[in-house]
Amino acid sequence: MTTTEVQDYVPEEEWPPVSTMLDGFGDQTLPASPALASTKIALEAADGTTIEYSLLTASQLTWTEGTASGTADYKAIEARPGIFIIDFVRGQGHLGGDGSAQGGDGGAQGGGQDTNAENVTIILDRSTDAVTTAVSRFVTVDGEVRGTTDFTHSNAGGQPTVHQRSSELVGKRIFYRYSDVESYEHIYLNQGTFTWHCVRGGEAGLADTDRCMTWAVTDDLYIFFWTEQVMTVEAVLLIDLREQRSIGRMFGWDNPSAQPVSLPFNSRLSVLNSTAYPQDTHKH
């Protein structure tokens, strides 16, 4: 009997905290790349704000956005030759490797609470200079800490090429193995909606349908974003159908500890099937 055959519906009030995933997902197994050391990425946001990232070394950068600036540790993974996913946390509190809140990093200052932390993810394609930046942060809604993510699509070389929204995942059902103990499946329903289901792991049996967005980077390589409506989770990743893997992070809020959680991950994936709807001939 498979795991799913013994699972049943889990009421929302019985869902575990976000931190349940920390141990099961483990550390990213893909190595950090030093290729971007001494690289500067200068962008212009849609509102005209200048954003600059100076990658000083293989692991430390400075950032400037308008009048705000700071220093942070980062990790860059070369997903494909010349295509990088760069990730760091900034703000009044930042996160250690175990996902727990640590001291400030010299970034944006706030009220001294860890809700000021922000997770920044940059996808850079050096062949086209197209850059997508995702900044996930916390907001308070009706007394609850929730997440939101702002996207900037630009070109570091001043060219018109930017990542475009894509529908190429729609209809696919993909199985993700994050570790020996954590497995999930995704079903992509349309350009803005998908269903996730934990097949095995700390969230076994949990499932929901949430908002998502997809952008094409190159052949069979996509930026994928989702935001959860039950738990406070903002996820940004690269889905690589050619290499059969995903690389990314989840940024969330752990209610029991009242702390942010940053969870970098990678997975091996398998496309289980692709759904094609029958043509409606209007015949009964």
pLDDT of residue 82: 98
pLDDT of residue 49: 85
- pLDDT tens-place values along the chain, 284 residues long: 467 888 899 999 999 999 888 878 878 899 999 999 999 999 987 788 899 999 999 999 999 998 899 999 999 999 999 999 999 999 854 444 444 444 334 333 333 358 899 999 999 999 999 999 999 999 999 999 999 999 999 999 989 999 999 999 999 999 999 999 999 999 999 999 999 999 999 999 999 999 999 999 999 999 999 999 999 999 999 999 999 999 999 999 999 989 999 999 999 999 999 999 998 766 66
pLDDT of residue 45: 79
- Quote the pTM value: 0.90
* Residues 224, 234: Cα–Cα separation, whole Å: 11
- The token duo for 154 is 């630009």
Residue 111's Cβ-count burial label (10 Å; 0-12, 13-18, 19+) is exposed
Residue 158's Cβ-count burial label (10 Å; 0-12, 13-18, 19+) is exposed
pLDDT of residue 77: 98
What is the number of helices (H) and of strands (E) in the chain?
A: 2, 19
pLDDT of residue 2: 60
User: Are residues 74 and 56 in contact, defined by beta-carbon separation less than 8 angstroms?
Assistant: no
Give strand ranges (E) for 118-206.
118-125, 130-141, 144-155, 164-165, 172-177, 183-190, 193-200
pLDDT of residue 205: 95
The number of CA neighbours under 13 Å toward the Cβ of 41 is 24
pLDDT of residue 235: 98
pLDDT of residue 44: 84
pLDDT of residue 129: 96
User: Are residues 163 and 256 in contact, defined by beta-carbon separation less than 8 angstroms?
Assistant: no
- The token duo for 245 is 């893997």
Q: Which run of H or of E encompasses 160?
A: none
